[in-house]
Amino acid sequence: MGKDIDLSDHKGERLKTMLMVAFGQSKMTARPVPFLLHLFIYVAFLVTQVELIEIIADGATGNHRLIWHYTEGTFFGSIYTFVINFIEIISVLAFVATIAFLSRRNIIRLARFKKPEMKGWPSKDANLILFGELTLITCIMLMNSSDVALQRLEVFHHTDQFLVSGAIAKLWSGVPVSTLLVMERIGWWGHLMGILGFMVYLPFSKHFHIFLAFPNTYFTYLKPKGELTNLAAVTAEVKLMLDPNADPFAAPAPDPNAAPVKFGAKDINDLTWKNLMDAYSCTECGRCTSECPANQTGKKLSPRKIMMDTRDRVEEVGKNIDKKGKDFNDGKSLLGDYITEEELWACTSCNACVQACPVNINPLEIIIELRRDLIMEQSKAPSSINAMLNNIQNNGAPWQFSPMDRANWTTEN
């Protein structure tokens, strides 16, 4: 839906950025405690997939601990035992981290999780994901611990070397074999179905950033923060005006078949595909909003809301296309129906939100494009900005006095 933009340059630098920011979580370190908690969940998500491979292999072949049987008694068997133990330890840490995140949202009630845009579905979505993570961890520990208990009863034959699940298995002493088998199957199916269900749910959730963080950071804008894009049509006009040798009457006639030049963005089709990817990569963590000086002083602007509104509008337009075709116009737009002028003009363009984002999202660019539409397409701006623009047009400076008087301050006593 977004406009095309070429971000294929500097591939080496882009790859480095992706590895540092998305894979290495480098921007999360600005807040050490949440970084550590998130790291536990992040690492657990990665390494647990190793055991998931074995779960799927067992289901497909009808075996039990297929990888273990193929590696038992070899060097790779020791690696297998180490990996499973590491998975269990990091899973316990992830369980603790998930409880902490639930507490931060629902008991401590951190201010950035209680902003107006987080009411309703966003809050439920976050809690649903966290409870889902607890369920996944519980299932895999139930599977492993009941498995160990069955090993000790010699129902399953392989070495009992799982540290965490071995300790939990002591709770199951005296439990009948039939019950242990049911527990092991509940854990096995629960983890497998939970993972598959989680993957289906992701595109409807803020946790879509698990996948999109990597391409989003790869396609990061590499220009310095604060450097705004110039509009090509405006740049060409200014160069023509400043060229003393240019003949304005010699300019080629406009192409009657060409689409009219549009300044700024009013709806999502006027934004670039990278802006829309930013919206879908948003984790709704609220770091951008908590760092925003305008939001801190009570103004309506929330950079997180800008991204959430953009994503919601993309969803709405997409559903309209599916139902009524790509040319359907619902009479609504991102500017006005989702994002208000008050929000846009509260922005100081300081880039605090861009700097704070863990996955290099750029809310400022969307804000600037929407403001350009207000100024250059609709001629709408607060009176203070209109006064400044008039002064620049008439006096060549933002101040309301003649250019001839600019140096008068040097003669004052």
Give DSSP secondary structure letters for 367-394. Answer: HHHHHHIIIIIS----HHHHHHHHHHHH
Q: Ranked by mean pLDDT, which of 34-43, 225-234, 245-254 comes out on top?
A: 34-43
Three-state secondary structure readout of 201-270: HHHHCHHHHHHHHHHHHHCCCCCCCCCCCCCHHHHHHHHHHHCCCCCHHHCCCCCCCCCCCCCCCCCHHH
pLDDT score for 252: 60
Q: Is residue 65 scored above 90 in pLDDT?
A: no
Rounded distance between C-alpha atoms, residue 407 and residue 411, angstroms = 8
Residue 35 CA to residue 48 CA, distance in Å, equals 20
- pLDDT confidence of residue 396: 83
Residue 294: burial class (beta carbons within 10 Å; 0-12, 13-18, 19+):
buried
- At residue 399 the predicted structure's pLDDT band, cuts being 50, 70 and 90, is confident
**pLDDT for residue 376:** 87
Burial class for 337, CB neighbours closer than 10 Å (0-12, 13-18, 19+): middle
**What was the pLDDT predicted at 339?**
95
- The answer to whether residue 216 sits within a structural domain is no
**Unique residue bearing structure tokens 């200014």:** 238
Q: Are residues 239 and 168 in the same domain?
A: no
- 157 pLDDT above the threshold of 80: no
Identify the band that residue 235 occupies on the pLDDT scale cut at 50, 70 and 90.
confident
Instruction: Give the residue-averaged pLDDT of 159-180.
Output: 86
> Do 199 and 302 share a domain, yes or no?
no
275-334 pLDDT, tens digit per residue, is 999 999 999 999 999 999 999 999 999 999 999 999 999 999 999 999 998 888 888 999
Q: Is 384 part of a structural domain of the chain? A: yes
Are residues 276 and 197 both part of a single domain? no
Q: Is residue 404 part of a domain?
A: no
Residue owning tokens 């002064």: 391
Residue 106, in any domain of the structure: yes
CATH of the domain at 288: 1.10.1060
Residue 16 has pLDDT above 90, yes or no: yes
Q: How far is CA 25 from CA 76, 104, 220, 342, 348, in A?
A: 30, 21, 15, 34, 28
**Matching residue, tokens 């078949």:** 257
Same domain, residue pair 294 and 172: no
The verdict on 241 and 193 lying in the same domain is: no
Q: Are 309 and 338 in contact (CB under 8 A)?
A: yes
Same domain for 200 and 62, yes or no, is yes
Show the domain range for 100.
22-207
Identify the band that residue 134 occupies on the pLDDT scale cut at 50, 70 and 90.
very high
Q: Which two tokens stand for residue 145?
A: 């611990």
Percent of the chain residues topping a pLDDT of 90: 53
Residue 212 in domain: no
pLDDT in tens, 113-122: 999 999 999 9
Q: What is the pLDDT of residues 240-267, one digit of tens each?
A: 878 888 776 665 666 666 667 788 899 9
pTM of the model: 0.83
Which pair of tokens denotes residue 372? 């350009």
- Average pLDDT of 196-211? 89
Mean pLDDT of the chain: 88
Q: How many Cβ atoms from other residues are within 10 Å of residue 290's Cβ?
A: 21
User: How much is the average pLDDT of 150-161?
Assistant: 74
Residue 188 scores a pLDDT above 70: yes
Please give the average per-residue pLDDT across 186-193, as a whole number. 93
Take residue 334 and report the two structure tokens written for it. Answer: 């991102």
Residue 402 falls inside a structural domain: no
Q: Are residues 190 and 91 in the same domain?
A: yes
- pLDDT score for 129: 92
Assess whether 28 and 124 both reside in one domain: yes
Q: What is the mean predicted confidence (pLDDT) over 329-350?
A: 93
Residues 76 and 182 in one domain: yes
| Residue 100 counted as domain residue | yes
φ/ψ region of 48 (left if φ > 0, alpha if ψ in -120 to 50, else beta) reads: alpha
Residue 350 has pLDDT above 70, yes or no: yes
Q: Are residues 278 and 379 in the same domain?
A: yes
Whether residue 171 lies inside any domain: the answer is yes
Examine the domain organization and report whether 111 and 151 are in the same domain: yes
| pLDDT recorded at residue 133 | 92
Residue 187 in this model has a pLDDT that exceeds 70: yes
Task: Enumerate the β-bridge partners of residue 272.
Answer: 3
- Same domain for 136 and 81: yes
pLDDT of 158: 64
The pLDDT value recorded for residue 355 is 94
Q: How many domains does the chain have?
A: 2
